[in-house]
Amino acid sequence: MTSKGNSFSLSRRNFLKVSAAVSAGVGIGLGPSLLNLKKVSAAESEELANNLGNIEVKYTADVMCPSECGMEMWVQDGRIVKIYGNDSCPFNDGTCCAKGASGMQLVYSPERNKYPLIREGERGEGKFRRATWEEAIDYIGSKLTDIKKKYGAESVIMDAGDVTDRDHYYRVFHGYGTPNCVEHGSICDTPRRHGPKLMLGGKRIEPDVMRPLLVRQPDGSLKKDYTYYSKLIIYVGWNPFVATRINYESRGTVGAKVENGCKVIVVDPAHTNTASQADLWVPIRPGTDGDLFAAMLRYILENDDQYNPLRKYIDWSFKEFSVGWDEFEAEFKSWWSKIDPINGKPYFSLDWAADRTGLPSEQIQDIAHEYGLTKPAALVWGMQSPGHHYNGYPCSILGTALNIITGNMDVPGGAIDTELVKSDKGGKAKGSDFTKRKVKRLIDGQEVEAEIEYLHMDWYGDWPAAWDDVVGDYPRRFREGVNINYGPFKGYKYPIKGFMIRTGNPVMTGGNTNDWIDALTAKDGNGNYKVELVVNIDTLYLETGMYADVILPEASYAERMSLSDVYPSHQVLWMRDEVIKPLHESKAPTDIMNSIAKKLNKLGDSDLKGEDFWEKYKTQEDFVNEMLLPAPGRNHAGEPIPYPHLPLGYKLLGTPDSLEAGRVTIDHEKKVVQGEPVTAEWMRKNKGVAVWPMSWNRFKIFDKEEGKYVASKAVAKTSSKMFEFTFSGYNKYNKLIDETGIIPRGLKEIGYERYPNTFYWFETKWNPYTNKEYAKYKDEYPFQLICGRVHHAMTGTQMVPWLSETPVEGTWMPLNDAFKHKIIDPNAKGELEEVEKEFKAGTFCVGTIAINASDAETMGLKTGDLVILENPLGSQEKGKVFVTEGMRPGTIKLGFGTGGRFSPGLGPTSKHKDYTPNHSGLVDPNAHSPIMGMPCYADMIVKVIKD
Amino acid sequence: MPESKPKKYGMAIDVRKCVGCMSCSVSCKMENGVSFGVFRSWVNMTEKGDFPAVKRFYQPRLCNHCEKAPCVAVCPVKATYKREDGVVLVDKEKCIGCGYCVVACPYNARYLSDTQKVADKCTLCDHRIDNGGEPACVKNCMGKSRIFGDLNDPNSRISQVIAKNPVQVINPHVGTKPQVYYIGADFNQKF
């Protein structure tokens, strides 16, 4: 067998060495390595720090990526000197990724926003003058006051961005009177969360591989359990080893594999790092994961035989915990006799799926059979599959159904909806109550009075089912304003006049880049910007900041307090602590919130009162203590029973030790067990982490009278509190349609008049292989374009040089041209300082275009060649190809947010903007997934033009 | 108490658990203040096979702290030395930056530091292990692929893991007796 493989050697002599790899066998016959038995405690780590000198150990939460792992930072003379994972935090169990470890190069980056800035040139020119905080807050305060008087507070959007610690910003803008307070989550993979939300009331289904777990033992004690139970994990378009949103899936996946013989299948058009440790890589055609799931479900339903142990796929007991299966099944089966116009085959059959997914029919059958038979198993899908496609909804609905009917939901080693079992937090801190205030608006000459929330631009506008709001639709809102279609304010129109963007970087990641730039720079007939106020609050100076009128420097994640916001397998919470004081003139969110509130109050806005802001939250800790009040806030459920001395089904509140010791009051009427409230002080005394006990089977409970398991109704957050195969979650939106006759834009696009009651199916956009409308493009645009997170190079961390030294998956490779730049680098003493460096070609990682080796050969391309990608809309992006066998032919992959980075705040990375591709430059600005409005990041086709 | 053997430090790396995240590379730079362009700890990667039968292999690397370390033998000023516990170190006061050791190392583990003008390489985080800790690359490893410990203590985790699994060292034929052991590695790969 020949090989065109690439090798990357990172020794000091050859940063990038490309050589032919030779064939070889794979190691077999190895036993468990027992590596998970390692139990280092945080206390040991503190002793080490003490021995090494005058070091203070602080426990905090990361924000180098949204995984927000529990961290241990060492501080010496007020400066962070070391960063490790916190051994007391079971989410990451003491581990820390490359990005987490490189945090000092962000905190001490010379490219940070250091002081407030006010724009001097045109938006986008990047011309600012240094301002004082007073000046900047004055500017913002008077503009906001003016906008509220002229257009109403709803004309301001507060987008609290991509990282955590958002509640402060929600609070002050809810207080100001706008319901339009949103976050980046609305443009990140909403279709993949849709199925779990609709059917379980949850969000993220992940495998049960977080270890250790704190588990109640038969002898009554609580112990850390390191045992893996998983036997099969299928990751579909989900690459946890690189997009490490869920830290434990790194050690947990390989841990389950080595310690428990778990099989791992990775379904992805790209050979990801996760695929590198999988037993099977299934290179599916982009946008057809739902097709695979549909074929799996059909195969399982057609071939399930309860009397044949080799075909006993379905665990029918699921019907005890579910509503609506019969309707779902009937609707699903009704498609079996229909013929798909694109291939003439009956829907969801193996042949149909083989044609559409580009996978052999036998392989699809094998996957369905293995998944049906192997228990416990978890079917897990992610951002890069349903998350980024127009039709990701049917996919995530089918995936959820598969996990339920095979009996894998919440069993040991199965699939956990982490949204439903993580600790509650936040509570009243984000100020949602303020949106219950009533306001008056004039509609067609009539004064209407109703609650502020009814002015929400999405929920009562074009996107009623947008649970997470629709950030990707902003360019349209900025240009056209908001039409309220539903609710008491029906018929009301308002413009968007203020855009507060805190972290996040929508110009590069919120949909089509040019569309955003156009919207942020659009002017009215008088030459004034349509959006009158754009404020960027961020630690870093990213592209969106270049279009701001005012930039406020926010304290970095090491300089502020809040709570982590992540997805563990049970209630675990850890605190972000102020490790060092805010650097430069940056301020923590609590201070920024209070300054804006105080200023608005001073300018006469009585909606913002001292008692709700600066008098209530004198310190960051006051705010965090409020956020901690609802913790853990989940109903007592599952096996082994977490607290045998406390009643099942009751909501638990308070510290783990108070619940354990029974220092509680029990309200039997409200079914609440109240222990001692969790506080920041309690967290600090406990290495920054609160861990409540794990249990499984939380959706069910054994009914002794009936002698069988029945629904616990304690965990699912659907209206029936059971698994729902009929979608009552849509009822309230259908009611709005019934009341008004107005069909939401997205629904109309897919030919529906109401949100469907049960299983539904529609095709994705820009896919010539599954949607007949696009078949005509197949020859001229032979490549499907996909994207994926490059963990080392997310939109806000590319100024970190250490991460530019480590290649990732072919989409982040040392293909730079020679350049010079000042970076932060260790000096002779090992301390970080600014130095001017010369970088030779091939020494610095940049965003690339990953392309299959045979495709490249056909076009005469080799790694490093410059090409132009052009889509049918005429948009182009330029970049260097990286040739690999690890891409499905006819597919091209770009890293998300890695190319075309034009903000000087990106430091050395901004030097490569002209030969690195910006994936968002190729996204269709008019393609928004029809239920929740997310940009369709992975629905596009391109041709490759040699430069 | 029975007299215990002197310590002999080493590392085991279970390549089946390497997730290719590069935390070891960056954690080492963070821990030891290693400047841009050089590494004390790094991961080689190679891709093998034709689509769709393709596989990416990882080879996490660091100084092998060889029992018969050629870098020690060639050093003209005895700056490079092997401690009793097996850790190979460079005395930066003595080192004249001649680079003999850099050339002599069969594992490319050494480099001449631009900032310090001396030979530099992995120290197994001696400052940490001498105070009861483990090297930073082990501490932060995302896949828990690395184990550090005393090879002379039969009850240490590293000894137990090595006893229970077939292990290999890189290029044993060069005869330097490396003390970094690999589990589940495919050494037929060329990195």
The CATH code of the domain that includes A232 is 3.40.228.10
For chain B, what is the domain count? Answer: 1
Question: Given an 8 Å threshold on Cβ–Cβ distance, is B49 in contact with A242?
Answer: no
Confirm whether A645 is domain-assigned.
no
User: DSSP 3-state assignment of A282?
Assistant: strand
Question: Given an 8 Å threshold on Cβ–Cβ distance, is A52 in contact with B48?
Answer: no
User: DSSP 3-state assignment of B131?
Assistant: coil
pLDDT in tens, A755-801: 999 999 999 999 999 999 999 999 999 999 999 988 887 788 888 99
Confirm whether B31 is domain-assigned.
yes
Give the mean model confidence (pLDDT) for residues A235-243.
92
Same domain, A414 and A555: no
Give B-chain residues touching A826 at CB under 8 angstroms. 29, 33-35, 115
Confirm whether B126 is domain-assigned.
yes
Tell me, what's the pLDDT at A53? 83
User: Quick one: pLDDT band at residue A1, thresholds 50, 70, 90?
Assistant: very low
- Name the A residues in 245-264 with CB < 8 Å from any B CB: 247, 250-251, 253-255, 257-258
Same domain, A474 and A516: yes
- Give the nearest partner residue to B17 out of A244, A258, A823, using CB atoms: A258
Q: For residue A7, give the chain B residue with the closest CA.
A: B46
Same domain, A861 and A938: yes
* Distance between CA atoms of residues A139 and A843, nearest Å: 44
Q: Which domain holds residue B158?
A: 9-183
Residue A937 pLDDT exceeds 60: yes
* Distance between CA atoms of residues A546 and A184, nearest Å: 18
Q: Which two tokens stand for residue B45?
A: 């990667």
**Percentage helix, strand, coil for chain A under 3-state DSSP, each rounded to 5:** 30, 20, 45
Sign of CA pseudo-dihedral A476, A478, A483, A484: positive
User: DSSP 3-state assignment of A237?
Assistant: coil
Q: Which domain holds residue A93?
A: 35-107
B13, B23, B42, B171: which to substitute to probe chain A, counting the most A Cβ within 10 Å? B23
User: Parallel, antiparallel, or unpaired for β A651-653 and A672-674?
Assistant: parallel
Inter-helix orientation angle A589-602/A167-176, to 10°: 10
A to B CB pairs, distance under 8 Å: 284
- Give the nearest partner residue to A884 out of B14, B47, B189, using CB atoms: B47
User: Quick one: pLDDT band at residue A188, thresholds 50, 70, 90?
Assistant: confident
Q: For residue B184, give the chain A residue with the closest CA.
A: A27
Total Cβ atoms within 10 A of residue A894: 29
Tell me, what's the pLDDT at A154? 98
Tell me, what's the pLDDT at A419? 97
Distance in Å from the first CA to the final CA of chain B: 47
A406 contacts: CB under 8 Å, gap ≥ 6: A300, A313, A314, A315, A371, A372, A375, A377
Give the minimum alpha-carbon distance from A26 to chain B in angstroms, rounded to a whole number: 6
Report the C-alpha dihedral over residues B112, B135, A10, B185, rounded to 10 degrees. Answer: 130
Tell me, what's the pLDDT at A38? 52
The CATH code of the domain that includes A76 is 2.20.25.90
User: DSSP 3-state assignment of A115?
Assistant: coil
Question: Given an 8 Å threshold on Cβ–Cβ distance, is B188 in contact with A258?
Answer: no
- Give the nearest partner residue to A98 out of B26, B143, B145, using CB atoms: B26
* Distance between CA atoms of residues A530 and A518, nearest Å: 11
* Distance between CA atoms of residues A534 and A500, nearest Å: 6
Tell me, what's the pLDDT at A32? 53
Q: For residue A854, give the chain B residue with the closest CA.
A: B51
Give the mean model confidence (pLDDT) for residues A941-947.
95
Same domain, A95 and A134: no
Question: Given an 8 Å threshold on Cβ–Cβ distance, is B22 in contact with A806?
Answer: yes
Confirm whether B190 is domain-assigned.
no
* Distance between CA atoms of residues A178 and A185, nearest Å: 19
User: DSSP 3-state assignment of A216?
Assistant: strand
Tell me, what's the pLDDT at A797? 87
* Distance between CA atoms of residues A907 and A375, nearest Å: 49
Which DSSP helix (H) or strand (E) runs through B52?
Answer: none
Residue finishing a domain among A61, A86, A107: A107
Give the mean model confidence (pLDDT) for residues B29-53.
95
Cβ A530 vs Cβ A565: under 8 Å: no
Question: Given an 8 Å threshold on Cβ–Cβ distance, is B49 in contact with A806?
Answer: no
Same domain, A373 and A258: yes
User: Parallel, antiparallel, or unpaired for β B55-61 and B42-48?
Assistant: antiparallel
The CATH code of the domain that includes A496 is 3.40.50.740
For chain A, what is the domain count? Answer: 4
Report the C-alpha dihedral over residues A850, A855, A859, A860, rounded to 10 degrees. Answer: 80
- Long-range CB contacts (within 8 A, 24+) of A331-334: A331/A758, A331/A759, A331/A760, A332/A297, A332/A298, A332/A301, A332/A759, A333/A301
Q: Which two tokens stand for residue B29?
A: 């730079």
Confirm whether B1 is domain-assigned.
no
Confirm whether A90 is domain-assigned.
yes
pLDDT in tens, A17-61: 322 232 333 333 355 554 444 555 778 888 888 888 899 999 999
Q: Is A283 on the interface with B (CB under 8 A)?
A: yes
Question: Given an 8 Å threshold on Cβ–Cβ distance, is B128 in contact with A48?
Answer: yes
Confirm whether B189 is domain-assigned.
no
Q: For residue B38, give the chain A residue with the closest CA.
A: A12
Confirm whether A568 is domain-assigned.
no
User: Quick one: pLDDT band at residue A652, thresholds 50, 70, 90?
Assistant: very high
Strand pairing partners for B12? B147, B181
Q: What DSSP line would sit under A388-438, residue for residue? A: GSTTHHHHHHHHHHHHHHTT-BTSTTSEEEHHHHSPP--GGGG-GGGGGSE
User: Quick one: pLDDT band at residue A189, thresholds 50, 70, 90?
Assistant: confident
Confirm whether B188 is domain-assigned.
no
Give the mean model confidence (pLDDT) for residues A482-505.
97
Total Cβ atoms within 10 A of residue A221: 8
Same domain, A418 and A433: no
Same domain, A414 and A537: no
Same domain, A147 and A47: no
Same domain, A406 and A453: no
Q: Is A21 on the interface with B (CB under 8 A)?
A: yes
Cβ A490 vs Cβ A740: under 8 Å: yes
Using the 8-state DSSP alphabet, how is residue A675 labeled?
-
- Phi, psi of A936, rounded to the nearest 5 degrees: -90, 80
The distance between the two most distant Cα atoms of chain A, rounded to a whole number of Å, is 80
Tell me, what's the pLDDT at A467? 87
* Locus of tokens 């056909």: A858
Confirm whether A475 is domain-assigned.
yes
Strand pairing partners for A870? A876, A943
Residue A700 pLDDT exceeds 90: yes
Q: How many helices (H) and strands (E) does chain B have?
A: 6, 10
Q: Which two tokens stand for residue A443?
A: 């509609």
Q: Where are the beta strands (DSSP E) in chain B?
A: 9-14, 42-48, 55-61, 80-82, 88-90, 111-112, 119-120, 146-150, 167-168, 180-183
Same domain, A551 and A437: yes
Cβ A930 vs Cβ A763: under 8 Å: no
Confirm whether A623 is domain-assigned.
no
- Give the nearest partner residue to A82 out of B30, B52, B190, using CB atoms: B30
Give the mean model confidence (pLDDT) for residues B23-46.
96
Listed range (A120-129, A654-663, A827-836) with the worst mean pLDDT: A827-836
Question: Given an 8 Å threshold on Cβ–Cβ distance, is A98 in contact with B145?
Answer: no
Q: The whole model's pTM is what? A: 0.95
Confirm whether B58 is domain-assigned.
yes
What rounded mean pLDDT belongs to chain A?
Answer: 94
Confirm whether A641 is domain-assigned.
no
The CATH code of the domain that includes B39 is 3.30.70.20
Listed range (A36-45, A242-251, A936-945) with the worst mean pLDDT: A36-45
Same domain, A484 and A555: yes
Residue B188 pLDDT exceeds 80: no
pLDDT in tens, A903-921: 999 999 999 999 999 999 9
Strand pairing partners for A822? A836
A681 contacts: CB under 8 Å, gap ≥ 6: none
Q: For residue B135, give the chain A residue with the closest CA.
A: A84
Q: Is A7 on the interface with B (CB under 8 A)?
A: yes
Q: For residue A96, give the chain B residue with the closest CA.
A: B140
Q: For residue B32, give the chain A residue with the closest CA.
A: A830
User: Parallel, antiparallel, or unpaired for β A232-236 and A377-381?
Assistant: parallel
Tell me, what's the pLDDT at A14? 32
Tell me, what's the pLDDT at A21? 31
Which residue type sits at A82?
A: K
Give the mean model confidence (pLDDT) for residues A48-77.
93
Q: Which two tokens stand for residue A934?
A: 């997310």
Give the mean model confidence (pLDDT) for residues A381-404.
94
Residue B119: exposure state from Cβ atoms within 10 A (0-12, 13-18, ≥19): buried
Give the minimum alpha-carbon distance from A829 to chain B in angstroms, rounded to a whole number: 8
Residue A386 pLDDT exceeds 70: yes
- Give the nearest partner residue to A802 out of B26, B54, B140, using CB atoms: B26
- Give the nearest partner residue to B116 out of A283, A828, A831, using CB atoms: A828
Sign of CA pseudo-dihedral A707, A713, A716, A721: positive
The CATH code of the domain that includes A882 is 2.40.40.20
- In residues, how long is chain B? 191
pLDDT in tens, B98-108: 999 999 999 99
Residue A448: exposure state from Cβ atoms within 10 A (0-12, 13-18, ≥19): middle
Give B-chain residues touching A828 at CB under 8 angstroms. 113, 115-116
Residue B14 pLDDT exceeds 80: yes
Residue A287 pLDDT exceeds 90: yes
Question: Given an 8 Å threshold on Cβ–Cβ distance, is B47 in contact with A26?
Answer: no
pLDDT in tens, A323-375: 999 999 999 999 999 999 999 999 999 999 999 999 999 999 999 999 999 99
Q: For residue A884, give the chain B residue with the closest CA.
A: B47
Same domain, A209 and A307: yes
Cβ A889 vs Cβ A851: under 8 Å: no
* Distance between CA atoms of residues A581 and A558, nearest Å: 8
